[in-house]
Amino acid sequence: MTFNVQSVNITDSAELAAAVEAAAQETSKHDGIDPFSEQYLFGLRDPRLGHKHWIIEQEGQVEAIAANDGSSAELFVVPSARRQGRGTALYEAVAPTPVWAHGNFEGAQALAKAKGLDITRHLLVMAIESAALKAAAQKPETDLEVANYAESVERFGKDHVQNQWLKANNEAFSWHPEQGGWDLDRLQRGMEPDWFDERDVIFFWDVNGETSGETQPEMAGFHWTKWHEEVDPGFGEVYVVGLADAYRGRRLGGPLLNAGLQRMTEKGAERVILYVEADNVPAVKAYERLGFDIAENHVVYKTQTR
């Protein structure tokens, strides 16, 4: 069976973007996992991200879609249109770009085997709930000043807070393909979504300048949490946790995690998730000791190198 794979400018059509979002919601409800990551959902409406899109439609209904950000791709087929070759047709439109398989379901595995693809990245979603969450959501034990984004801006000024946040983020994630190398514009775009809450970003401040000697406080680390209200009941996410270079090796990771979990339980969370690379074995074990369990698997498939 052949399919008409169309290259489209989705950001030029609010109607088409809404149709794809509806298809993603339908697929998420069926699979229990979102078929597109957050940035790829943003890319449906935000032309600044520069995503390219391909769709397969039938009688005006979106049946399948692929998106490419220039370094990786994501694609999905709505449940009612699967097992007929649409996924293969879309993969051929984006190949040889590495492709994410959220959930790594049987269909994705079969396509990868047929195309001779290897897993080159494995991302885990881990979750903590109920009593384990309450036990971990403790007031952080630290001599550093703990303040959320809104409080920090009021005390230290917006420019200083954002510059320190960028510095800590880029030091913590200098190795990371998506989270590293941010500039001010990228940080501010991260604060644009409706879910962003200034009180949900927790900072640790060195107000005494014990490391830098600066008169303005230096940010030791941050815990950016996210609240998911697209489902009922809502739940929390350990969105990003990072430490500045000068504050590593001081056992601040645990207190930062505690601070964010405490914030989310205060908002009513009974479940909190986080994403972690599967090959980061020490982190995975540390989260398991805290009470997190593996809930989802996400992988990147890429053409085999010989």
Bind-site residues for acetyl-CoA: 75-77, 83-88, 241-243, 280-285
List the one residue out of 99, 128, 110, 113 whose CA is nearest residue 298.
99
Q: Which long-range contacts (CB under 8 A, 24 or more apart) does 155-162 make?
A: 156/205, 156/216, 156/217, 160/216, 161/203, 161/219, 162/187, 162/188
Binding residues, by number, are 38, 75-77, 83-88, 178, 226, 237, 241-243, 275, 280-285
Q: How far apart are CA 72 and CA 301, in angstroms?
A: 10
Residue in the structure block whose two tokens are 């303040």: 147
In the Cβ-directed half-sphere of 99, how many Cα atoms lie within 13 Å?
29
**Where do the H-state alpha helices sit in the chain?**
14-31, 38-42, 86-94, 106-115, 130-136, 149-156, 158-172, 184-190, 253-266, 281-290
Q: How far apart are CA 167 and CA 240, in angstroms?
A: 14
Q: Are 244 and 168 in contact (CB under 8 A)?
A: yes
Question: What is the phi/psi pair of residue 159, to 5°?
Answer: -60, -45
Which tokens in the block code for residue 118? Answer: 């290897």
Cα–Cα distances in Å, from 226 out to 4, 98, 134, 266, 280? 38, 27, 18, 13, 22
Q: How far apart are CA 222 and CA 235, in angstroms?
A: 20
